[in-house]
A = this chain, B = another copy of it.
Amino acid sequence: MLIREATLADWPAIWPFLREIVAAGETYTYPRDLPEEQARAMWLLEPPGRTVVAVDDGGAVLGTAKMNPNHMGGAAHIASASFMVDPGCSGRGVGRALGEHVLEWARAEGYRAMQFNAVVETNTRAVALWRSLGFEVLATLPEGFHHPTKGYVGLHIMYRRL
């Protein structure tokens, strides 16, 4: 697996699984009917943000991550990141590889911490993965997320120092 910069040419490979994940409405605080143009603008970031894809040996896109400052001004030393793994490629360590890559990037860029603003508490695989990469749940917004089948569930703010 290789992780490299995403380009506009990767978008047709990203959009099908990104759309599927967003439409499911279980893990992301995006509108479930997010239009493609808006999704592309939100996902493919310009500096100081950055977007990468994880690809297999044949060049197929397995997942993607975007990383960016979480705040501006006096809090611009805190980074954020978001991740999408093709559900057909789960269990292959793609999320973990992207997570490790993003942490390395943030350290190299001089960020002092990484903060995830909205991790749905029922997304237990993601919560466990971030914990294993050194993140803690700094707080949980009670009933912060309306899950399509589980109703109102907590929304974690996760954090780690770099």
A-side interface residues toward B, CB under 8 Å? 22, 25, 28-32, 71-78, 112-113, 115, 117-118, 120, 138-139, 141-148, 155, 157, 159, 161
Of A25, A28, A75, A148, the most chain B CB neighbours within 10 A belong to A75
Binding site of A, secondary structure by majority: helix, strand, loop or mixed? strand
Q: How far is the CA of A77 from the CA of B146 in the complex (A)?
A: 9
Q: How far is the CA of A28 from the CA of B32 in the complex (A)?
A: 32
Is the pair B138, A73 in contact by a Cβ cutoff of 8 Å? no
**5 shortest A-B CB distances, which residue pairs?**
A139-B139, A29-B75, A138-B139, A29-B71, A74-B146
Q: How far is the CA of A78 from the CA of B141 in the complex (A)?
A: 9
Is the pair B73, A32 in contact by a Cβ cutoff of 8 Å? yes
Please, which residues of chain B bring their CB within 8 A of the CB of A146? Answer: 74-75, 77
- Could you tell me the distance in whole angstroms from the C-beta of A19 to the nearest C-beta in chain B? 13
- Could you tell me the distance in whole angstroms from the C-beta of A152 to the nearest C-beta in chain B? 8
Please, which residues of chain B bring their CB within 8 A of the CB of A143? Answer: 112-113
Besides A71-B117, A113-B142, 10 new A-B residue pairs in contact (Cβ under 8 A), listed by A number: A29-B71, A29-B74, A30-B72, A71-B118, A74-B146, A75-B145, A75-B155, A112-B143, A113-B141, A138-B141
